[in-house]
Amino acid sequence: MATPKLESNGKTWAIRVTYTNSNGVKEQKHRGGFKTANQAIAWSENYRNAAEKALTTKNDLKFFELCDKFMAVKRAYRKKGKPLAPRTIADYEIYIDILKKSFGNILLRKITPTFLQERYDMYSETPCKQAHIEQTLSAIFSFAELQGFTEKNLWLRVVKSEYAPKPENQVWYNAEQIKILLQYLKTEQPKYYVYAKLLTITGLRPNEATVIEESDFRFSVKDDIYFLNVNKALSIVYTKNGRFTEIKEPKSTAGQRELPVTLLDYDDIHAFKIKNRINSPYLLVNEKGKQLTENSFYQAINRTTKRHNLPHITPYGLRRSFANLNKSAGVDPFTVAKLMGHSDVEVTNRHYFKDDIELNKKAVQAVSASLSND
């Protein structure tokens, strides 16, 4: 039972009642101004009873109502500051809408493993969508079991698809291939040459490169070199109504870094803007000063590689090329991790330096040479 308290005026009473709303989320309601403590208690009991009567009984719960309760809890977690990625909420909203249409107004107690299997198999022709549907259904039915809406997790009895791994493609270029690609781009598509050159000399992520501004470059007289301040990235935000882009800070502090750029490279990546007299705060732009997108860049290098019979490579593959060029030059994993904005050097080791015999050999030779008396 809620306990009433005298308000600051010493004459009226206030009370706070805790109850569970129709979505299964605990909430509180505060009200004051009662002349007596008994009036406050009576109001709290009536309010709680009315709130709990709004609960749908377990036997009459429909699938779409279960989804609403699930989303209410997820949003409540977010509101209380508990860790839940914004994109996760948006993904749930998108795929729960799809499931609501597929399941209709079916009662939860009438859903069988066979029914679930049929609905899940409907998306077998689109593996990516099926994977998202699988994640969403798994979360919903785990929630249903945890909240007592179902006695067992029906989703555990569904046979899941085995997703075939993506075919191996050429994911990075060596120094000679980089030179060839850059030469073709410089001749045929100079605006995208700037994009490609920037990725290969800095190791930026494509979504970081897209939003680089002129103000991000700082010249150091002492070092006679430019430093590129990386502190933002273009992020895709998914909502119920679609998706849009916005500029955000890096996910970790490791993503905020300063990258050295030589005077020669600085002049080279600015030659396109200077030649076309482009006045734009951004570095990666077209002839009209409009920002280039990662997708248009991908299409540009895809056309170039096909036209000249070069191995397939993606914008992210150029970032990988930066790492492998540094590895070939004998740069240690910790330095490469710092340049690439990896929060953990283990990420760099796993993708670029795992079981690298050549680097291990060079390290042993270097130690041996330093200890040699010759």
Is the predicted pLDDT of residue 82 greater than 60, yes or no? no
The pLDDT confidence band at residue 201, using thresholds 50, 70 and 90, is: very high
CA-CA distance, 174 to 89, in Å (whole number)? 40
Instruction: Retrieve residue 299's tokens.
Output: 């299409």
pLDDT band at 368 (very low <50, low <70, confident <90, very high): low
Mean pLDDT of all residues belonging to the chain = 84
Q: Where in the chain is the domain with CATH 1.10.150.130?
A: 60-157
Give, in words, the CATH class of 60-157: mainly alpha
Phi, psi (deg, nearest 5) at residue 215: -70, -10
DSSP state of 341: T
Query: Which candidate, 237, 194, 249, 227, places its Cα nearest to that of 339?
Result: 227
Q: What is the pLDDT of residue 269?
A: 96
User: pTM value?
Assistant: 0.56
Query: For the domain bounded by 175-370, which CATH number is listed?
Result: 1.10.443.10
E strand residue ranges, the chain: 5-6, 13-20, 26-34, 217-220, 225-230, 233-239, 242-248, 257-261
- Per-residue pLDDT tens over the stretch 20-65: 655 556 677 888 888 888 888 888 888 777 766 555 455 578 999 9
Domain with CATH 1.10.443.10 in the chain: 175-370
